[in-house]
Structure formats: structure tokens, C-alpha cells
Structure 1
Amino acid sequence: MNRAGRRHKAYRRGHSAEYFAALALMLKGFRIVERRYRTKLGEIDLIARRGNLILIVEVKARTTLEQAMEAVTGTAMRRIESTADLWLARQPDYAKLSLRFDLVAILPWRWPVHVPAVFMV
């Protein structure tokens, strides 16, 4: 398979992983506010809300939970945090909101694994 084909396959797998992650969060009572929120600073896979709790969610499709957690690097954390700050500043009720950075790991043949507070700021 050529490079463009691999990239397209990874893009489709990412969309599929985000769909399943969103479904798992909705079943936990969260409302998906944004999917693939993009700015010049970076991208957030999912932003979910339940009451005043906002989840900034990184979705990783990997073979094991350990691999998924290791894939969230320090650089990625800073990028996600900067993008989250920008999103939060644009919310009219931002003073009432509490933010949490979570991971949803999409593993082969398993229900998505939701890891709350995968990193702190």
C-alpha cells in the first residue's frame, strides 16, 4: 500500500475510534460538544460535557492500554492544554466550568476504555 493509502486508512481508523469513544461517553451521560476541535495551536479529539464538568478527551486506537497511555506525550499534552484554554475562553459560562483531561483508548475487540484525568495541568 502506498503512503497516501496508509494515511487515508489511518484517517478512517481515527474517525471510527472517535465515533466509538463519543458513543461510550454519551452512554455515561456526557454530551459531545465538539468533535475534532481545531485551532492554530492544535486539535482536541472530543470535548464532552456533563453539568459543569468539561472533558477534554484524547482518543487513541492502540493494541494495549499501556501503548495508548504512552502515546500521549508531553508535547501533545501542552498542545491539548493550549487548545483547551482557547476553547474555554470562548465559553460564556467559563467561570463555572471545571476542566478535566481524559483519555479514551480504543483497543481491539473491547469496549472503549475511559481513563479519567490522564494528565493534570
Structure 2
Amino acid sequence: MTNRAAARQKAYSLGKRAEWMAALLLMLKGYRVVARRYPAPVGEIDLIVRRGRQLVFVEVKARATLEDAAHSIRPSQQARIVRGAEAFLSRHPHFVGYDMRFDAVLVAPRRRPRHLEAAFSSF
């Protein structure tokens, strides 16, 4: 395995673990997981969860620090997630009447994951 392939494999594994931690945190807060790694035409949505009539699209970011994770959610990614949410709703119209929100869960080594509600808006 090349260094590049090994690095990609490690990043994939870390991402999967971060998403698992994020899902666990959200379930402990009363959310139900609707989808993990939802494949939208514009890219993947890490988690889609709901609590009551609130549907939440979640971006999970794992970095060396929680601050680095927070700063890594760029406007272009936010726009991609919004477009992905629109695609999800077009395929799942029974969620159309729900309140929508865009959250983030930040993950860093040896730190509790941080859930940021309404981390960004749909512009």
C-alpha cells in the first residue's frame, strides 16, 4: 500500500469513527438517526437526524482541535450541504413540513464531541 493510499485509509477510518461518535452523542440528546452518509447528487451528507418535527442535517468534522474542526466548515461546503438537503427532501417528501436546521458536530482527540446547533443557515 502506498503512503497516499495508507493516508486515505486512515482518514476514512477516522471519519467513520467521528461520525459514529457524533451519532451516539445526538442519540443521547434524543435525536433519531434518519440517514448516515446520505449520498446526495452534490456530495454526501454525514448525518440526518430528527427529533420531533425537527429535521437536522449534520456535518461532522474531525480535526486535531475543536477550533480547527469549526473553522474547516467552509461556505462552499455549507452550500453543498444545503443543496444535499434539498435533494433529500425531494426524495422524501414526508419530511417537507418539518422544521429544518443545519448543525455541526466537532470531534478532536481526547475531547468530548461538541454539538453546534444551527451552525449555519440555508442562506
TM-score (structure 1 length as normaliser): 0.94
Give the corresponding residue for 1:14: 15
Give the corresponding residue for 1:34: 35
Measured on the aligned residues, the alpha-carbon RMSD in Å equals 1.2
- SS of residue matched to 1:96: coil
The CA distance in 2 between the partners of 1:50 and 1:95, in whole Å, is 15
The CA distance in 1 between the partners of 2:12 and 2:48, in whole Å, is 19
- CA positional deviation for 1:72: 0.6
- CA positional deviation for 1:17: 0.4
- Amino acid of the residue matched to residue 22 of structure 1? A
What's the % identity of the aligned pairs?
Answer: 48
Aligned residues: 121
- CA positional deviation for 1:98: 0.9
- Which stretches in structure 2 are left out of the alignment for 5+ residues? none
Contact 2:18 2:62 in 1 (8 A): yes
- Amino acid of the residue matched to residue 105 of structure 1? L
Could you list the structure 1 runs, at least 4 aligned residues long, displaced by more than 3 angstroms after superposition: none
The CA distance in 2 between the partners of 1:114 and 1:95, in whole Å, is 24
| Compared CA separation, residues 10 and 81, structure 1 to 2 (3 A) | same
More displaced stretch, 28-37 vs 88-97: 88-97
More displaced stretch, 37-46 vs 9-18: 37-46
